[in-house]
Amino acid sequence: MCFMYFGCHSFPITQDTKLNYHAFSTNSVQVCHSLGGGTGSGMGTLLISKIREEYPDRMMLTFSVFPSPKVSDTVVEPYNATLSVHQLVENADECMVLDNEALYDICFRTLKLTTPSFGDLNHLISATMSGVTCCLRFPGQLNSDLRKLAVNLIPFPRLHFFMVGFAPLTSRGSQQYRALTVPELTQQMWDAKNMMCAADPRHGRYLTASAMFRGKMSTKEVDEQMINVQNKNSSYFVEWIPNNVKSSVCDIPPRGLSMASTFVGNSTSIQEMFRRVSEQFTAMFRRKAFLHWYTGEGMDEMEFTEAESNMNDLVSEYQQYQDATADDDEEAEYEDEEEPADGM
């Protein structure tokens, strides 16, 4: 359960830890955690909060495993996840959203694995993590770092929860016998079935997106493919953010592949996941179910109310920008011009 963050536990960052951070000139911190259980949600958000407090100028990137729609490991998952999101909104810069059910679906449908293990799921996640950070480690024609990624992907500070994907999708130990082309990589990367969280991008609109390619390829061809995607699927992109798909090209491909690509999208459809968790939270919280386990550890009901409110606000913000059009601002300006001046 999520006691760790709110209880009386202290989490000192020692002088040795500080020296390690400075010695390695760390410009960002990555945290991998789950939001359903107690350690990843409670201890994970406590760690994020303390690092943010000590190193406010470091980029905070999380790979967060959210509760799945149908498979539940813990009955109090909605509480833990909601309390965690409350902290991630405030203390994280970029959250890559994952869930096990979506990863299992990729293993079954795309990779044709009959009995996927956690090792197979971790293989998919590790490929995505490596793709997101490859430009920090290898040279490229058009490189990017995590700060540049954030600048291009986050139009509004609170909306920093991203869906991710990877191409080509291969199972552990398999060989890619046929080299894919850039158009084939692009098609697979944007495919809704290959997103690693339980949200369908076709149910929302992309505010922004980023494609990180690896291998020997033409930047001109990459740019053409990104323009082609936007032109063919214009209804899935907000029109009031022009040129909202960014790309980078790293020269070094992953081991065993000639080229690959990683997708990071800021889509309003991510609200589906928040809405689902929020509904489950409300159903239990209304009846105060399981609440005594948390209040007995020193938590207050007000903390739950605030977390619920923050989650609902987040859903409303995503919906607001999904419905927004380029004409909204023009209409508002026109109405302002129509208002009579004071004293007339």
Show the domain range for 55.
27-336
pLDDT at 228 over 70: yes
Q: Is the residue at 21 inside a domain?
A: no
- Are the C-beta atoms of residues 96 and 128 closer than 8 Å to each other? yes
Residue 295 pLDDT level (bands cut at 50, 70, 90):
very high
- Are the C-beta atoms of residues 126 and 87 closer than 8 Å to each other? no
Q: Which residues lie closer than 8 Å to 21 by C-beta, 6 or more apart?
A: 55, 58
Model pLDDT, residue 337: 57
Q: What is the pLDDT of residues 237-252, one digit of tens each?
A: 999 999 999 999 998 9
Rounded CA gap, 44 and 35, in Å?
8
CATH number at residue 259: 3.40.50.1440
Q: Is the residue at 342 inside a domain?
A: no
Q: Is the residue at 344 inside a domain?
A: no
Handedness of CA 172, 173, 177, 179 (dihedral sign): positive
Rounded CA gap, 23 and 36, in Å?
34
Q: Is the residue at 149 inside a domain?
A: yes
Q: Is the residue at 227 inside a domain?
A: yes
Domain count, the chain: 1
Of 53-57, 91-95, 303-307, 313-317, the least confident: 53-57
Q: Is the residue at 327 inside a domain?
A: yes
- Are the C-beta atoms of residues 106 and 196 closer than 8 Å to each other? yes
Q: Is the residue at 18 inside a domain?
A: no
Q: Is the residue at 198 inside a domain?
A: yes
pTM over 0.75: yes
